[in-house]
Amino acid sequence: MSLRGGTRRLGRSDVEVPRLGFGGAPVGNLFTAVDEDVALEAVRTALAEGITYVDTAPHYGTGLSEERIGRALRGVPRGRFVLGTKVGRLVEPVEEGAPATRDGGFDVPATRRWVWDFSAAGVRRSLEESLERLGLDRVDVLLVHDPDEHLDAARAGALPELLRMREEGLVRAVGAGMNSSAHLTSLVEEFDLDVVLCAGQYDLLEQPALDDLLPAALRRGTSVVLGGVLGSGLLAVDEPREDATYRYAPVPAAVLARARTAARTAREHGVPLPALAVQAVLAHPAVASALLGVRSPQEVRAAAALLDVEVPAGAWRALREAGTVREDVPLPAPG
């Protein structure tokens, strides 16, 4: 049964998101530059394919992702998409004569930089500046971005301010985004969050978020959006390579072995490995959506097609029997 067309509500908010979301870091020139026209067409193709949840952040290309997404959405009826961005970093120009600084992860000119700011005032300013870059009057989802080393500041300033902004009707759903499931769990337990974005902690090969974040999210009624479900490359192809990256680092031997077992299972059942990877994580009841970072219309269409793949029940049984996934990982029901 195809997952295309299904939506999930984010926590107790009125925001409904599709099972796949558009991850906006690549169109902010993550690792390599993307042609402007290609980037804009990628966003428009996502909407046409039903990927109507678009996630971005000031961090992505020091504002470039927001600017491009805003240009791509210009003229699109506001009710046709759900847009999320983040706070915690402010973008500012690099003064003439100052040392050139840039985020090495993004291929952008060194004319702007970002600075940390988890204060209440910084949150307000961040949203205002994001709206200006986007050319919109509102966003739907607002997350505190990467407060791992700034948890006290986020607890004191950013998170209470997001809750106030939700009460004021400035945003519809609020939460936090991090790579640490443990830190996210603590925030879920402490604050009334609608959604958290967890990257690299729950995929086909490793599931640490199953021990803390996902059960906590179910208890608290908080939705989880997942990033990194293709392991930053390892699970994005049908034949996992030894030189692939996993969570943006060289793949460990044990993880590569599990990936190759999963790939063999996929071949035996006639399905693409990326389809197994995406559909498996969407089976957990706490997971509302998975973000895929795509940088071209072709990649968008390939991502959307993963939800149309009919995976035989035997494939899920084989993954479990091979020990590729833990016994307590929920897997899709047949039919």
- CA gap 68, 70 in Å, rounded: 5
What are the tokens at 150?
Answer: 């700034």
* Chain-centroid distance, C-alpha 10: 14
Strand partners, 47: none
* 202 has catalytic annotation: no
Does residue 196 contact residue 86 with C-beta atoms inside 8 Å? no
Pairing of strands 287-293, 223-227: parallel
Query: Which of 60, 202, 246, 248 is labelled catalytic?
Result: 60
Among 173, 101, 186, which Cα is nearest to 143's?
A: 173
| 325: Cα separation from own chain's centroid | 22
Q: Strands 223-227, 195-199: parallel, antiparallel or unpaired by DSSP?
A: parallel
Amino acid at 295: R
- Cα separation, 319 vs 279, in Å, equals 13
Q: Is residue 260 packed enough to be buried (19+ CB in 10 Å), middle (13-18) or exposed (0-12)? A: middle
Which residues lie closer than 8 Å to 22 by C-beta, 6 or more apart?
Answer: 42, 43, 46, 51, 53, 54, 55, 291, 292, 294, 300
Considering only CA atoms, give the Rg of the chain: 19
Provide the annotated active-site residues.
60
